């Protein structure tokens, strides 16, 4: 009989908050065999990351663990610190969430990959520089990165490359178990597919046990043999991936599945998963009239280190009409954000023109300031976008103060109410750390709404949010469109999001718009090979694409 690689029995974790022990994990039992793959799904706060970090006792000092955590038959909860230090990296390692924040920005990636190798070198046999360099080169090759990237700093790598570096670090000491905590969050669909394929290949080739944590059931179903779903600190459903994804038994599992709609599913059009009812979508939407915001033959270029000019935006024509949501999709580096910055007047184009209500956007002075009031930006990461020392009121009031709007308090409270932070007075004096992720995103949206814009440019507005909050924010954008006539350009790598809320889709690739049309035209009958590759890269892409073509 095979000894389980990992076995959790009646695992309980509490956090000390003042004089109270707050339960985070309650009675969890899980088993993983050598070479097995297990996905742990759930919303933020469900306890999934606490379970994963418990395996190597990577929890804060305020945490108390009871129950058994057997790693290769040895109880982690009773290990001495010296033994635990030897187990970390060497027998079990972690791919942490958010490679951008997990890597040291002032150290080359080769040095960071070599660090666990040096820490776990046999006693009395320090690793030579040549040995470390050779192993780093081997690891980079394993994760499909050229060994020359060892000399790069994290900021010189793309998001997908940084995630590969994290995987290389986790593999450095040849562990038997890897815990991957949201390894594809905020990655575009093509890079996500590459990272998932890499993990699947490494698990198969090296017989590594894998625990993957995600709030996206489709990601887990594409990678793991079994899925356990957590809710309120407990396992509420567990079984083979196909069964959990295809025939979920628990209401929470069904809600997670509904939060990431399948492209081509008519039920999810303009109906993101949310507990709040939406105003009905008009049966006869008025045809788009005069474009409110337009780019005409827009070109933007930059010079690389060698002085070579690179086209980030190459002759783009794009329009957004009043009461319309346009999704701008494409992988990282396709030029989406540069185009958005140019539309907002934050980046000067080499050539071409941006028009608002038919008139060219001024390039400076009072005219540009007035334009920026009409076209507002909703940033991607609300945690980074908000000053941690400023209250909600101060964050939302910044725009009205710059534009010297009368009755500031009424303006701020009206914006908070519109962003569904009700009553406004309850949230106005809170600091960002006192809010949930969804509430912080609502504050960022309220900051844009305070100036009563006609257009919002939303850069990956739900990329960092969990399943249920994602649905709430998308429902909010739809509500604002229907009630205020607000137009939106939504930048995203998520085709499910585009299917969920957009009227039209524009697909960007290497600085060009390669395909534009209604959501149904572009996503159900793609003409360009790049659009087809985006659809194929969705988790379970072959099956979903077949559904689309039917």
| pLDDT digit string, tens, across residues 27-67 | 999 999 999 999 999 887 788 989 999 999 999 889 999 99
DSSP 179-219: EEESTTTT--HHHHHHHHHHHHHHHHHHT-EEEEEES-HHH
Q: Is 129 within 8 Å of 212 (Cβ atoms)?
A: no
Instruction: Name the pLDDT band for 19 (thresholds 50, 70, 90).
Output: confident
Q: How confident is the model at residue 315, as a pLDDT?
A: 93
When pLDDT is averaged across residues 388-396 and rounded to a whole number, the result is: 95
Q: Is the pLDDT confidence value at 100 over 80? A: no
Cα distances (Å, whole numbers) of residue 534 to 62, 193, 218, 417, 498: 44, 10, 15, 37, 12
Cα distances (Å, whole numbers) of residue 167 to 93, 171, 323, 376, 401: 9, 6, 44, 37, 46
Q: How confident is the model at residue 274, as a pLDDT?
A: 61
- Of the two residues 151 and 255, the one the predictor is more confident about is 151
Q: What is the pLDDT of residues 478-510, one digit of tens each?
A: 988 888 889 999 998 888 889 989 999 999 998
Number of Cβ within 10 Å of residue 451's Cβ equals 18
Please give the backbone phi and psi of residue 267, each rounded to the nearest 5 degrees, phi first: -65, -35
When pLDDT is averaged across residues 122-126 and rounded to a whole number, the result is: 72
Q: Is the pLDDT confidence value at 310 over 90? A: no
Q: Is the pLDDT confidence value at 550 over 80? A: no
Fold matches, 1-91+176-190+205-258 and 291-303+310-382+455-549: yes
Q: Nearest Cα to 65, choosing from 28, 32, 17, 96?
A: 28
Residues contacting 328, CB < 8 A, separation 6+ = 318, 336, 339, 340, 489, 490, 491, 492, 506, 508
Q: Nearest Cα to 89, choosing from 205, 177, 3?
A: 177
Report the alpha-carbon distance of residue 360 to residue 371 in Å, rounded: 10
Instruction: Name the pLDDT band for 286 (thresholds 50, 70, 90).
Output: very low
List own/partner pairs for 155-161 with CB under 8 A and 24 or more apart: 155/105, 157/109, 158/191, 158/332, 158/333, 159/99, 159/100, 159/186, 159/187, 159/188, 159/191, 159/332, 160/187, 160/188, 160/191, 160/194, 160/195, 160/332
Q: How confident is the model at residue 66, as a pLDDT?
A: 95
Number of Cβ within 10 Å of residue 441's Cβ equals 30
Query: Would you kindly state where each structural domain of the chain is located, as residue ranges?
Result: 1-91+176-190+205-258, 102-174, 291-303+310-382+455-549
Question: Which of 62-76, 206-220, 242-256 is predicted most confidently?
Answer: 62-76
Q: What is the pLDDT of residues 44-55, one digit of tens each?
A: 778 898 999 999
> What residues are paired with 180 via a beta bridge?
95, 212
Q: Is the pLDDT confidence value at 414 over 90? A: yes
Top-level class of domain 1-91+176-190+205-258: alpha beta
Q: Please, what is the average pLDDT of the chain?
A: 87
Cα distances (Å, whole numbers) of residue 382 to 354, 377, 446, 497: 27, 12, 12, 18
Q: Is the pLDDT confidence value at 305 over 80? A: no
Q: Is the pLDDT confidence value at 159 over 60? A: yes
Q: How confident is the model at residue 543, as a pLDDT?
A: 34
Report the alpha-carbon distance of residue 304 to residue 315 in Å, rounded: 20
- Of the two residues 193 and 1, the one the predictor is more confident about is 193
Instruction: Name the pLDDT band for 284 (thresholds 50, 70, 90).
Output: very low
**CATH fold label, 291-303+310-382+455-549:** Rossmann fold (3.40.50)
Q: Is the pLDDT confidence value at 283 over 50? A: no
Q: How confident is the model at residue 548, as a pLDDT?
A: 35
Residues contacting 438, CB < 8 A, separation 6+ = 465, 469, 472, 473
> What residues are paired with 378 via a beta bridge?
458
Q: Is the pLDDT confidence value at 393 over 80? A: yes
Q: How confident is the model at residue 237, as a pLDDT?
A: 95
Q: How confident is the model at residue 285, as a pLDDT?
A: 46
- Start-end of H helices in 55-142: 81-87, 99-102, 109-119, 129-142
- Start-end of H helices in 420-519: 424-428, 437-449, 467-484, 495-501, 519
Model confidence, pTM:
0.77
Q: Is the pLDDT confidence value at 97 over 70? A: yes
Q: Is the pLDDT confidence value at 255 over 90? A: no
Q: Is the pLDDT confidence value at 123 over 70? A: no
Cα distances (Å, whole numbers) of residue 98 to 94, 166, 391, 514, 544: 12, 10, 26, 30, 27
When pLDDT is averaged across residues 168-194 and rounded to a whole number, the result is: 84
Q: Is the pLDDT confidence value at 463 over 60? A: yes
């Amino acid at each position: 009989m095979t000894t389980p690689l990992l076995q959790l029995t009646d695992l309980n974790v509490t956090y000390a908050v003042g004089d109270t022990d707050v339960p985070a994990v309650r009675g969890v039992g899980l088993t993983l065999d050598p070479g097995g793959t297990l996905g742990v799904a759930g919303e933020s706060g469900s306890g999934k990351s606490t379970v994963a970090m418990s395996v190597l006792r990577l929890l804060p000092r305020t945490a108390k663990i009871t129950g058994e955590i057997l790693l290769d038959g040895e109880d982690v909860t009773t290990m001495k610190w010296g033994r635990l230090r030897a187990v970390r990296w060497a027998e079990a390692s972690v791919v942490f969430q958010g490679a951008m924040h997990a890597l040291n920005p002032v150290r080359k990636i080769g040095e960071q990959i070599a660090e666990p190798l040096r820490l776990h070198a046999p006693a009395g046999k320090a690793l030579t520089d040549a040995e470390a360099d050779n192993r780093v080169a081997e690891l980079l090759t394993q994760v499909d990165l050229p060994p020359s990237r060892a000399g790069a700093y994290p900021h010189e790598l793309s998001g997908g490359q940084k995630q590969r570096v994290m995987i290389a670090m986790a593999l450095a000491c040849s562990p038997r178990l890897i815990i991957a905590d949201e390894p594809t969050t905020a990655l575009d669909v093509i890079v996500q597919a590459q990272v998932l394929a890499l993990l699947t290949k490494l698990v198969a080739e090296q017989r590594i046990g894998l625990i993957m944590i995600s709030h996206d059931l489709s990601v887990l179903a594409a990678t793991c043999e079994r899925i356990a779903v957590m809710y309120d600190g407990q396992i509420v459903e567990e079984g083979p991936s196909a069964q959990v994804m295809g025939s979920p038994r628990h209401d929470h599992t069904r809600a997670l599945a509904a939060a990431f709609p399948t492209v081509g599913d008519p039920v999810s059009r303009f109906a993101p998963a949310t507990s709040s009812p939406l105003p009905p979508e008009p049966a006869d939407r008025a045809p788009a009239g005069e474009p409110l915001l337009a780019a005409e033959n827009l070109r933007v270029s930059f010079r690389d280190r060698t002085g070579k000019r690179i086209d980030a935006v190459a002759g783009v024509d794009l329009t957004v009409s009043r009461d319309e949501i346009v999704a701008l999709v494409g992988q990282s580096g396709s030029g989406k954000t540069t185009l958005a910055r140019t539309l907002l007047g934050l980046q000067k184009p080499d050539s071409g023109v941006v028009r608002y209500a038919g008139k060219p956007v001024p390039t400076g002075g009072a005219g540009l300031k007035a334009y920026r009031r009409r076209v507002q930006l909703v940033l991607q990461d609300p945690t980074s976008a908000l000053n941690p020392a400023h209250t909600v009121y101060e964050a939302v009031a910044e725009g009205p103060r710059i534009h010297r709007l009368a009755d500031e308090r009424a303006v701020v409270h009206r914006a908070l109410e519109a962003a569904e932070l009700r009553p406004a007075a309850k949230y106005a004096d809170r600091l960002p750390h006192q809010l949930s992720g969804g509430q912080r995103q609502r504050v960022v949206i309220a900051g844009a709404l305070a100036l009563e814009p006609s257009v919002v440019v939303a850069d990956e507005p739900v990329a960092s949010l969990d399943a249920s909050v994602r649905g709430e924010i998308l429902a909010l954008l739809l509500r604002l469109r229907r009630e205020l006539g607000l137009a939106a350009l939504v930048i995203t790598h998520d085709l499910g999001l585009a299917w969920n809320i957009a009227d039209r889709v524009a697909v960007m690739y290497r600085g060009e718009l390669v395909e534009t049309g209604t959501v149904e035209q572009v996503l159900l009958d793609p003409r360009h090979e790049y659009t087809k590759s985006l659809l194929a890269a969705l988790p379970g892409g072959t099956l979903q694409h077949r559904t689309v073509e039917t």
